[in-house]
Amino acid sequence: MWNGMGFGNWGWGGGMGLGMVLFWGALIAVIVLVVRSLGNDAAARGGDKTPLQILKERYARGEIGKDEFEQKQRDLET
């Protein structure tokens, strides 16, 4: 006996249903990865750092000199 297009008892409906589940699963996975990526970028930019920590990092990188660092440190502590 002929079972349709070779899908056995599944027919077109079963195969397409499985395809839809895989499609939506993949779509949700992509959305989750994009959201996580955006969250990691915000954390990498220093979202949780205090102004004093940022100042110390700038001084350590040589972006500002000792005098400017000390002045800005005093400004932040008052």
Residue 74 Cα to chain centre, angstroms? 36
DSSP single-letter state for residue 62: T
Domain boundaries in the chain?
Answer: 28-77
Query: Which three-class secondary structure state does DSSP give residue 31?
Result: helix
The model's confidence at residue 19, banded by pLDDT at 50, 70 and 90, is confident
Q: What pLDDT digit, counting tens, does each position of 21-78 carry? A: 899 999 999 999 988 888 766 556 656 788 999 999 999 999 999 999 999 999 998 8
Question: pTM of the predicted model, to two decimals?
Answer: 0.41
Cα(31)–Cα(50) distance, rounded to whole angstroms?
A: 31
Q: How many CB atoms lie within 10 A of CB 6?
A: 8
Query: For residue 58, what pLDDT is reported?
Result: 94
